[in-house]
Every structure is written in structure tokens, then in C-alpha cells.
Structure 1
């Protein structure tokens, strides 16, 4: 009995050291943690590719969900960001973030579970509801873990090399994501006609493996965040530390901090920028996945092969984009990305079944190049503009507002799409598809973003001073 108790105490001590006492002690620890973050993010991006896009569209179509509702469900991930408002005060005052982030990341296993839903002998209506609830639950947990993860990343990566680090991270993540997606796309094409359920089993199993890699990589990282310090400058742990944090939470007024956030000019400018991006993205992008499959009649293999080739182009240009971002600033980086997104939407406006292969290829080239800029620019501009002391709260508020707004845009557009699809719309004698209209709306919104950046973010330098690490 004593031996068992001793082993339990040893295990608790080991876990405590892993989750609450693993501080980076030198530059080697920082470098190792940055490499592990790249592994974690690569697994996360690969998983996101299977938990969205054409793979999830195929799954939802198999249980009878309509195209308009598919777009709405895909945007529910953004709606889940609203739950960050409920927990942001608690998360901001956590002694350490690692355990919370690991528990939130672990919920990605729900993405694996949804691919096994078709095996249940339920009516399609029940399957659709369960799929939606699991998808929404996983996204809520992921969104709750995003602000502390970004804060952790900001402490790991010095501000003067973030552009190059993000470029390296994106290049590695994109390469492995598109390589695995290519293999899975070919597999899904093979199974789609006769053995689609077997394809779902393989997809769900791969997602489960990636979720485990994601969590284990985070566990192995070291966290620079320090808890309360004593007079000797050493960390305080245990009940005393919890009591000190509880006193800080009680003294802190969430409403007062929210009021201060909305008086922060830099925060408001970036929030408006992101809401404009939510408009441009969710008014068209979620509905293009089903458009590629159902109206343009593209095969999974072709979609993934073109995606793979264009992603190699993205990997090739990403290091250059990272260096440009360090020199020109993140606002300029986002603007260049938006120019490419606008061209992508303009090409998709003219996409039809007769020219689908050509227009899809051109549009994908421009979009992959655009993500090289936006992948670095949007996160970089937040780290650059947000106050370090309030970063977790600002990330939470920013994500919650943007997510709720993005979902509302997608919901309204989804209903509009269903309505348009019931109409026969012609320009002259040329029939117009609903997604051609939504892509034109996305083009107009993206042009508005470019004008906003040039007039509001590039006239003056609103950036905070570079943080010293």
C-alpha cells in the first residue's frame, strides 16, 4: 500500500514539473520549444484540413446536409470563438497555460469521432445534429486554447525575427499538410463510389493520430510564463500562488478591462480590419468547396493534386515573404495578401463547369500565394499591435467578436445562397450560379480591405515598440 502511494506521489510530482515548472533555462530550450511548436502546428494544420474542406463536405453530404447549411456549419468554428468572452478573465490569470492548452487541444479527437457517425443506424437528421454538435464542441475547446497559445508563442519568438519564424513554420506545415491531403484525396476518390465508409474510417484514424501528436508536442515544450515571485525572485507554487492569483482576479474588473480595450486605438483598428476580412472570407470561401465538387464537377484527386502543386509554390515564396514582413511591417504584408485574394475571387466569378479545371487552377495559384502573406501577416499584426500585459484578454476579445461576426456573415450568405439556387438568374443568355455571385461579393469586400489598410494603417505607425527578449 505504501509503495502504491509513493508511486502516485511520484507521478503527481512528475506531472506537476511537466505542466507547472518547465521553464526554459537557456537559448537551447527556447530553440527546442520553437521546433516543437512547429511540429505541433504542423499536426494541427494537417488535422484542420481533414476536419474541414472537401473531406468534411463529403461527410456532411453523405448524411443529407444541404450546400447552404454546409457553409453555415463550416463557419460554426468562428461562432465558437464567442465562448472566449466567458472564460477570458479566468484564463488570463492562470499560473501556467500548458495544462489548459493540452486539455483544449485534446478535444480535437471529436473531429475523428464525426467520421464514424455514418456507421450508426440513426436517421440522417439525427446524424446531422450529432455531427454538428461534435464539430461545434471541438471548435469551442480549440478556440478557448488559442489566446494562451498565441501569448505563449509571442514569448517564445523575439519580435524582430517573427516574420522569418512564421515563414519557416508555414512552409513546413503547408508541405506536410498538402502531401497528406494529396494521398487522402486519392484515397477518397478510390473509395467514394462503392466503399465511402472505409474512406471515412481511414480519415478518422489519421485525425486521431494527428491529435495525439499535437498534444504530445505541446507537453514537451517549455513555457516561459512565470507565476508569482517571492522576495528572492523565485516562483511561488502551490496554495500560496493560487491564493495570490485569486486575489488578483477578485480585484480585477472584467468590464473595466473591456472598456479599456475598446479605448485602445490600435486594438480597434486591427479589430475592424479583421471583421472586414471575416466579411470577405465567409461571404464566399465556405461555399466554394461544395461548388468545386457539385457544379464544377472536379474530382478529389484533381483538387488535391492542384492544391499540392500550388502549395509547393507557396512554400517556395514563403521565406521571401517572411523577410519582407520583417522589413516592411505586417500591415503591408496583409495588404499584399489581400490583393492576391481579390484576384482569386475575380477568377472564381467566371468559373463554370465548362472552364472549371482552368479557372480553379488559376484561382488556387493566387489563393496559395495569398495565404503565404495572410498566414504571416494576420497573426503578426496582432502580436505587433496588442499590449503585452493584456495580450490574452485582447486575443480573446478579438477572436470572440471576429468569430461571432464571421458566423453571422456566413449564416446570412448561406440563406442567400439557398434562395439564389432556387432562382434562374441570367446575364444576357448566360446562366449565373449562386457561388459566382458570392465570389463577386467577396471580391468587392477584399477591395475594401485594401483601401482600409492604405488609408488607416499605413498613414501612421501605430505599432508598439519592439519587445525585448
Structure 2
């Protein structure tokens, strides 16, 4: 679909504003949910693990109908906006949890966080497909590098501010969290406003696309080698990556005794290194290839769990987050760019949905395994297992570097020679 240069610039500008308000809404809440769960609601390790894993299960349930709905749409902007607004509405429901006295409040939080991820997953899928249509391939590396840098700065400032404010109150006080949940919803409304300012051309939807579900997506994935190899590598890496998510929260809060201030400082340190490194990742992705730099980022991510368990000193943990943020920046940006690159444009939504469903399945299983390993063998072994899987996933990207990228370049050179 063709967009004029001035339209692309307008969409990029609105996307940055939309993303800024989105990151504020998320930063007011997401990073502090484990603290709210553990210190205010008294959540167990199992419940903390479920907060990380159940949303992924909801993503699986959302992706199949989501892909069908999105493929039927002539425009995706309105559907994306409604999904985002529905997800932000759940932040208002979190406000009422401390008032419910007749049952275990931590379980209510677990359920609401899980349910919130149904519209969140729809919003993620539709936004990926939506923005993939609006931003041309040759602009994505530079644009997303700039966008991610700006959003990281905004998120860093928001997170640090929230951490300082929360640190002024008793650790078990629910009131400050309730205020931030409400603000998160309000910023989500502004997020939707800027999403609606994007300019989107109406597309013609083939009749066959609206009549039936495409059940051939599995055979398409298998036959489209660049996507298939990328999917296998991402699956292995995400297994190790997401396994440690609840472990980091449990270690930092229960083992190291981190307060809201330190939790925000960990996040800010992580984001500072992301800000510094985004441009570097984008530059070398253009120079060395997206897959090669994804290999470097993924291997760098293997160090985070091992380095974390070496000490409970809060200053040391801040430095570890500063180090790991560099590779988080590369991993998140390059994974998304590579996903768009290997997903055929004419059936992009189906490929994106398939990726998200599989990664969501990993996201449901691996955090639970992480908590299980924690209960059975202790924190050191659980973190080490996570690092091993991250390393295996990182090395698997060598297949993409050595085979897929070379094959794509070879096919491209053949096409050019035919045209010549």
C-alpha cells in the first residue's frame, strides 16, 4: 500500500506521541505490579509466577479470533484503538482490589492481570499489522530506533518518578498504587487519541478472506523458510528469556529487599543503557545485517541471570541492569524488525498472529517452569537454567545468519540480474 512521504512523516510523528502516552500508562503500573502483589497483597511465589505466565495464555486465546477479525478489516486503526481502550479499562478495576475483603486479594490481581491481556494481545497484534502497513520497510530501522529511544526516555522518567513517590509511603500502603492505576487509565485515553490521528488508507479485502479461516497457515510457515527458521530461533530464545521474568522480581524483592525506589532505579538503569545503545544497534543492523546483530544481542542476554545471582547488593544489581539493558534494546528492536522482514506482506497478519501465539505459549509455560525450578532446586540453579536456554536460542540465530540471510541475498541478486 502506497503512502506519500508527507503522510509517512505525519504517521511517524503521531506514532511517537501515541507510543509516549502508551509507555507512560504502562510505566505507571507494569513495573510495580510485583511490588503491589508481594508487599501490599502478600502474593506467593506461585502467584507471582502466574502474573507473568497467565497473560500469555490469554494471548493464545486472543490471537486466533484476533487474526480473523483483523484480516477482515478494511482499516485497522479503529479496532486497535478499541482494543487498547479495553485493556486500559482494566487498570481502573485494579483500583478496587484492596477494598475486597472476603477472599484472597492476590488471586483477584492474578485474574485481572490475565484478563487484561486478552484486549492487550489484540491491540499488540493489530498495532503490529497496522504500523507495518504504514511504515515502509526502508524506513523501519531508522524510525523504530528513533521511536524506541524517545519512548525509553519517557518511560525512564515516569518509572523513576513513580518509584520516588512510592518510596515516601509505607510499603504496604495501597493508596499510592490506586492513584497510579487511575492515572494509567487516563493516559491510556490520550494514547488512543493519538492513535486515531494516524492516516490510514482503506484496503480492499478479498471476498475469500472474509468467508473462511485460512487453515493453510501452518503449511505456509513450513514452506516459507526465512520465517520458519526465525520462528524456531525466537522460540528457543524466548523460552530462556521469559523463564527468568518472575525470578528477577522474586530475587530483587524477597532476596535483595528492594523497595519501590530501588525497583524504579533498576528499571531506569536498564532504560538508560537502552537509550544509549538503540542508535548503535540500528546502525550495525543496517551494516552487518539484522540477523547477525540479533545473534549478538541474544547471546548478551544470557549473562543477565548469572550476573544477577552473584550478589544481593542493590548497587551491584543496578549495575547489572545497566549492563543488560544494552542487550534488551537490541533484542526487542531487532526481533520486531526481523519478524516484519520475514513475514510476507500479503498475509502479514496471519504470520504475526502465528508468531504471537507460539511465543505466548512459551510465555505461559516457561515462567511456571522457572518458579518450579526455584522451588525444587533454588534460585541459583533456576537462573542458570534460564541462561543456558538463552544461550542455545542465541546460537540458533547462527542458522539465520549463515543460511537464511545468504539465501535472501542470493535470491535478491538473481532478481536484479534478471531485471538487468
The 5 A counterparts of 1:49-88 are: 49-53=27-31, 55-61=32-38, 62-83=40-61, 84-88=63-67
- Alignment gaps of 5+ in structure 2: 413-420
Could you tell me how far 1:105 is from its partner in structure 2? 0.5
Contact preservation (8 Å) 1:185, 1:304 = yes
Using a 3 Å threshold, how does the CA distance of structure 1 residues 98 and 411 change in structure 2: closer, same or farther?
A: same
More helix by share: 2
Contact preservation (8 Å) 1:77, 1:136 = yes
The 5 A counterparts of 1:223-234 are: 223-227=200-204
Contact preservation (8 Å) 1:64, 1:124 = no
Contact preservation (8 Å) 2:226, 2:404 = no
Q: Please point out which of 422, 439, 444 is paired with 2:383.
A: 439
Distance 2:23 2:350 in 1: 24
- Residue aligning to 1:10: none
Q: Which moved more, 1:375-384 or 1:254-263?
A: 254-263
Could you tell me how far 1:38 is from its partner in structure 2? 1.5
Provide TM-score, normalisation by structure 2: 0.90
Distance 1:91 1:199 in 2: 38
Could you tell me how far 1:309 is from its partner in structure 2? 4.1
Contact preservation (8 Å) 1:115, 1:203 = no
Using a 3 Å threshold, how does the CA distance of structure 1 residues 275 and 31 change in structure 2: closer, same or farther?
A: same
- Residue aligning to 1:38: 16
Contact preservation (8 Å) 2:171, 2:259 = no
Distance 2:54 2:244 in 1: 15
- Residue aligning to 1:397: 354
Could you tell me how far 1:90 is from its partner in structure 2? 2.9
Whether 2:178 is the aligned partner of 1:201: answer yes
CA RMSD of aligned residues (A): 2.3
Distance 1:63 1:44 in 2: 26
Distance 1:111 1:248 in 2: 32
- Residue aligning to 1:117: 96
Could you tell me how far 1:310 is from its partner in structure 2? 4.4
Using a 3 Å threshold, how does the CA distance of structure 1 residues 277 and 48 change in structure 2: closer, same or farther?
A: farther
- Residue aligning to 2:292: 332
Could you tell me how far 1:25 is from its partner in structure 2? 6.5
- Alignment gaps of 5+ in structure 1: 1-22, 229-243, 421-433
Using a 3 Å threshold, how does the CA distance of structure 1 residues 59 and 307 change in structure 2: closer, same or farther?
A: closer
Provide TM-score, normalisation by structure 1: 0.81
Distance 2:322 2:72 in 1: 43
Whether 2:331 is the aligned partner of 1:374: answer yes
- Residue aligning to 2:25: 47
The 5 A counterparts of 1:22-421 are: 26-53=4-31, 55-61=32-38, 62-83=40-61, 84-125=63-104, 127-193=105-171, 196-227=173-204, 245=207, 247-250=208-211, 252-352=212-312, 356-420=313-377
Distance 1:191 1:463 in 2: 56
Distance 2:397 2:286 in 1: 18
Could you tell me how far 1:316 is from its partner in structure 2? 2.1
Distance 2:242 2:339 in 1: 20
Q: Which moved more, 1:205-214 or 1:260-269?
A: 260-269
Distance 2:67 2:171 in 1: 46
Output one character per residue of 1:125-144: Cα deviation in whole Å (capped at 9) or x when no partner.
2x334322321222111111
